[in-house]
Structure 1
Amino acid sequence: MMKNKILLGSVTLLSALMVAACGNGEKKTAEPAAAPTTEVAKETTAAPTTTAPTTTAKTTTPGTSSETKKVSLEDTQRVGKDNIGYVNVPKDWVVFKASNNPDNFYYSSPDQYNIMYLESYSKDKVKLNDGETFGAELIANRLLNGVKNDKEQTSVQGVKADFAGEKAYLIKATFSDGKTMFEWILQKGDIVYVVSIEGTEDMVKSLRPVFEQSWGLNAKTPGQ
């Protein structure tokens, strides 16, 4: 199994890094740039609904042929916890235990190539440097800085996007092993939530609308 970048995310985040603020940025395309950039653009997505459209995912892993499958809410299971939120993932995905972060919440495809991660942060869990203010922007900056400094990343971009009816930061990255990662950071009340998906480009893009429309704090109802 190839190394999963999101398994290391919480370690980077909890360190007291001094990073440049994302800022408001220019209104540019939301697609990953050819070269690494930390500029934030505005990304507009469709308003979330409680019924996710059927999407098509082409799952390709090393040494196997591609397999096309449709992903809709009817083909998913709802997973998560009260303190980190809930999201729908494909029914065949299973709990994934990371040896370096065994208490963190991960679900993966059966082959462990595609992986999803949920986390939340309160002010008392994050060390602040002088002049820093706790919030989604700070968490997004630290995560973006960590990805930018990863020698295996081939492109990285931070954008502003709508996610589950909330304004959020979205980090998009690609890596030399062929993986794509999308990571949303949003704030509700005094808690910052992180939702990450990493794997094949087709799988990540197919699950994106499912995540955007299903994430919420209600254990039973997608999008709430």
Structure 2
Amino acid sequence: MMKNKILLSSVTLLSALIVAACGNGEKKSTETTAAPTTEVTTATPTTTAPTTTASASSDAKEVSLGDTQRIGREDVGYINVPKDWIVYSSSKYPDLFRYSSPDKYNILLLKSFSKEQFKLNDGEPWGAKAVADRMYVRWKDDKQQTSLEGVKTKFAGEEAYLLKVTFTDGKTLYDWFFLKGDLVYRVAIEGSEETINSLRPILQNTWSLDPKFPRQY
């Protein structure tokens, strides 16, 4: 059975960022948005990913706000997920904040990063783009990924970078990075694309640093 990708990426992202900042594995992802095409790139890009969009499927049925619960933590933010989702605990990595569907096939991760955790390239500004660039390299080098797309988008009202990855086991991962205050926040969901598309509006519109249940979005 393939290991959980969110877990693997969570425990390797910091080292991947530092290695990439030192000049290893330089890659480039091309993004497509409703506006003119923009790019997520490393400091010295050498390859280009296909230009694609990462829009939600029109066939996916959106989950209603009333069928969700508010979860989260002060350091990673708060978000709404389906009422039947449960804590996805790990004795090996107890600090990771994860929730999953009852069958543990679909998993959500919330995480945050500070500037002090990373070594940036000379002249490279701190922000969501820096983290997304490095994460793109990490996914690009993953031998089990079958496609990788980078998209500039909005998340919780903030400018964000979304990496959409598919894997050989049929799973899909949506990986958002956005800056709020001094921290870059990561919201990642792995599972079936149908489930991800049905939850995407809820995730994008309910994340905040406020633990209170949102009245509307």
The TM-score, its normalising length taken from structure 2, stands at: 0.79
Provide closer, same or farther for how the CA distance between residues 197 and 118 of structure 1 changes in structure 2, counting only shifts above 3 A: same
User: 1:8–1:99: structure 2 CA closer, same or farther, 3 Å change rule?
Assistant: farther
Q: What is residue 49 of structure 1 aligned with on the other side?
A: none
Aligned pair in 2 of structure 1 residues 24, 211: CA closer, same or farther (>3 Å)? closer
Give the direction of change, closer, same or farther, for the CA distance of 1:95–1:43 in structure 2 (3 Å limit): closer
Q: How many angstroms does 1:194 deviate by?
A: 0.2
Distance in 1 (CA, whole Å) between partners of 2:147 and 2:48 is 7
Structure 2 CA distance, aligned partners of 1:13 and 1:203? 25
**Correspondent of 1:153 among 142, 145, 152:** 145
Counterpart CA distance in 2 for 1:39 and 1:17 is 25
> AA paired with 1:119?
K
- Which residue pairs with 1:10 in the alignment? 10
Matched, 1:199 2:191: yes
Query: Could you tell me how far apart the structure 2 residues matched to 1:182 and 1:24 are?
Result: 14
Contact 1:77 1:88 in 2 (8 A): yes
- Pick the aligned partner of 2:133 from 137, 141, 146: 141
Is 1:213 paired with 2:215? no
Distance 1:186 1:166 in 2: 7
Question: What letter corresponds to residue 73 of structure 1 in structure 2?
Answer: L
* C-alpha deviation, 1:166, in angstroms: 1.0
Q: In structure 2, do the counterparts of structure 1 residues 40 and 185 end up closer, same or farther at CA, with 3 Å as the change threshold?
A: farther
Aligned length: 195
Taking the aligned partners of 2:2 and 2:91, their CA distance within structure 1 comes to 14
Two-structure CA RMSD over aligned residues (Å): 2.7
Residue 125 of structure 1: CA displacement? 2.1
Task: Between 201-210 and 4-13, report the one with greater CA deviation.
Answer: 4-13
- Give structure 1 stretches of 5+ with no counterpart: 29-35, 46-54, 57-69
The match for 1:87 is: 79
Give percent identity, aligned residues only.
51
1:124 to 2:126 alignment = no
Secondary structure of the structure 2 residue equivalent to 1:17 = helix
What TM-score do you get using the length of structure 1 for normalisation?
0.77
- Paired letter, 2:186: V
Assess if the C-alpha contact under 8 Å between 1:7 and 1:98 holds in 2.
no
**Cα distance, 1:133 vs. partner?**
3.2
Partner SS state of residue 190, structure 2: strand
Query: Secondary structure in 2 aligned to 1:103?
Result: coil
User: Which amino acid in 2 is paired with 1:17?
Assistant: V
Q: Contact 1:76–1:88 (CA<8 Å) still a contact in 2?
A: yes
Aligned twin of 2:66: 74
Aligned partners of 1:92, 1:44: CA distance in 2, in Å? 26
CA distance in 2 between counterparts of 1:188 and 1:137 reads 13
Q: Does 1:101 align with 2:93?
A: yes
Cα displacement (A) at 1:11: 2.9
